[in-house]
Chains A and B, each alone.
Chain A
Amino acid sequence: MAYDKFNLLKSTAVPLPIENVDTDQIIPARFLKATERKGFGDNLFRDWRYNPDDTPKTHFVLNNPIYKGKILVGGKNFGSGSSREHAAWAVYDYGFRCVVSSFFADIFRNNCLNIGVLPVQISPEFLDKIFKAIEVDPNTEFEVSLPEQTFTILSTGEMETFGINAYKKGNLSNGFDDIDYLLNLKKDIESFADTRPF
């Protein structure tokens, strides 16, 4: 589905300084039974966020009102494991538009890009600075610029650039999706398919 355009985002951020956050943590398998894409945000980080009796775990960051914003900052190797796009949907549905880490798992990164969540990969050193800035002041604001491909800590002005391929950048800033593009290539695809032996 087409999604909101992404250009400039200015927001506070929610810190999750844990490495190897896998998609089973982002959304456990038992919440994948829906046949429509809605309501996944309620179960984002379900088992870290809620006790078995559904009461909130007070120490978890999403249950702490001092942390809020549209940016989620995670430790190294964020989104490893299952290919479930539900993980990216849960992140989006909760209200995040950008996930920052020093390293992303491939499929999760792709899934984010395909639904309009911007994965921003920065150096481990800069990631530490972001975590520290939030620790000092949870109201620290950050700016993500897709056109400039920069992530800035607004209180200090410290900034780092991030990579994204030009095609995906265009899609995100215009709210286009890959299917629109592929449907336009239907003739080429059909001629190609005719050459396949199986």
Chain B
Amino acid sequence: MSNTLFDKVWDTHVVKKIKNGPDVFFIDRHLVHEVTSPVAFLGLKNRDIPVLYPERTFATADHNTPTINQHLPVKDPLSANQLKALEKNAAEHGIPYWGLGHEKNGIVHVIGPENGITLPGATIVCGDSHTSTHGAFGAIAFGIGTSEVEMVLATQCIMQPKPKSMRININGALSFGVTPKDVALYIISKLTTSGATGYFVEYAGDVFKSMSMEGRMTVCNLSIEMGARGGMIAPDETTFEYIKEREFTPKGEAWDKAMEYWQTLYTEDNAVFDKELTFDAADIEPMITYGTNPGMGTGISNGIPKAENVEGGAATYQKSLAYMDFNEGEDIKGKSIDFVFLGSCTNGRIEDFRAFASVVKGRKKANNVTAWLVPGSHKVEDAIKEEGILEILHEAGFELREPGCSACLAMNDDKVPAGKYAVSTSNRNFEGRQGPGSRTLLASPLVAAAAAVTGKVTDPRELLTMETSNN
């Protein structure tokens, strides 16, 4: 019975059910970028077949792009070649391509929602695991591999077994200084990186209802980090207000018709989930990770847990702490850091820059910190300028870079050197993720800002409180 939000959207996209096999699953909108698409286009060429619905695919360059001097030719020949390949493939198949310098260019999961490509009740895929971001709009959105990118290009479908359903409820109000990123890191720390594998998650409760679209995107973005294929939130007035009048959203009568459908996208009261979890908003404080997967996170005022209190093998845990050069039981607060990265599909939106600016305003960047502030798109960059945030950043000694995935996965030159610590608003603290030997501490834009001005791991509430009391 289709009575959860997830079922309602999934079941209306099944072209065919295969007995003891996956569903033939229709994809409304497909996003491609330069890294995971070239081999898929090559596959089409080898089979001599066209893209079935080029108007349902949108292409951008983000993963493997520089974040300075984008007006100049890309220096690295391999990267330049990959970008050229996407441009050529898009042109050949009639796919809209928003390359470097294009006003709509940016990180694939930032520009989808920004341009109204992301809609409630739609199915959205991309060769990128953080496609789960788009679930914030009540879409079913998830990452796929390159073989599946080729399937979508060729047939607009993939073969996908229906995942199990999980609901995560958080009621109550978030405390001062606690952001959507902290909510997500808190959930992942409770579930571990594999706790939701095999499930599709719906986030429900007061906390998500009162969250902005930017915040919902941050939460859904991180669903994959607990193993879930995706996460979603029922669309409401906040959602409709966000998408209205964007370039690719339905207009006029089509909008009214779509609204009728979107109003039905919620989980019925009698719905049953395969798994249901409930947390209390009051238990969440600003979070930070101390290890080498996103599940290794802790409240900023707690220390690094002892191995005996951690689920999983002690050997793996100790290997992870050794990589970070941290010890069990130590405080995380006060640890000296070298880099700060604000950006990525997780926290590269305007709200994230507002939050960062709220902490650094009237302060100065710490001398020991190199900071990379990378907007998620040109539209975010424009908003940063229009809202006067750029001046605040400049006064505090920060520079703004050009849009892209940047140091989140360090495919370009934005690499954290071996042994250095980075407080990053991105999504993964895996070994070497931000450059070979780099050590990543994942946190919210507020925690990142506090680290940027103090040069060490600092509870942003101390700075924000100070500011409040000074005024």
A positions within 8 Å CB-CB of B: 1, 17-20, 22, 24-25, 28-30, 32-37, 47, 52, 75-77, 80-86, 88, 103-107, 110-111, 114-115, 165-168, 177-179, 181-183, 185-186, 188-189, 192-193, 196-198
Contact = CB atoms under 8 A, between A and B. Distances in A.
B161 A165 contact: yes
A29 B194 contact: no
A106 B293 contact: no
Interface of B: 15-16, 18-22, 24, 26, 28, 35-36, 38-39, 42-43, 46-47, 49, 52-53, 63-64, 76, 78-79, 81-82, 85, 119, 122, 127-129, 131, 143-148, 150-151, 154-159, 161, 163, 193-194, 197-198, 227, 229, 250, 254, 257-258, 261, 293, 312-313, 315-316, 319, 409-411, 418, 428, 430-433, 436-437
Contacts of B39: 35-37, 85
A22 B38 CA distance: 23
A34 B431 CA distance: 22
Nearest to A32: B35
A40 B144 CA distance: 19
B48 to A, nearest CB: 12
Given A25-B431, A30-B411, A75-B316, A110 B197 contact: no
Given A18-B316, A75-B316, A105-B197, A35 B155 contact: no
Contact of B36 (A84, A106, A167, A189): A84
B409 A29 contact: yes
Given A33-B64, A168-B21, 10 more contacts: A28-B436, A32-B411, A36-B39, A75-B313, A75-B316, A80-B293, A165-B20, A168-B22, A179-B155, A183-B155
A88 B145 contact: yes
A114 B227 contact: no
Nearest to B20: A166
B147 A85 contact: yes
Given A29-B409, A106-B198, A177-B147, A83 B36 contact: yes
A37 B407 CA distance: 25
Give 4 closest A-B pairs by Cβ, nearest first: A167-B21, A85-B145, A83-B143, A166-B20
A109 to B, nearest CB: 9
A107 B144 contact: yes
Contact of A1 (B46, B85, B151, B433): B46
A28 B432 contact: yes
A83 B132 CA distance: 12
Contacts of A111: 145-147
A18 B316 CA distance: 6
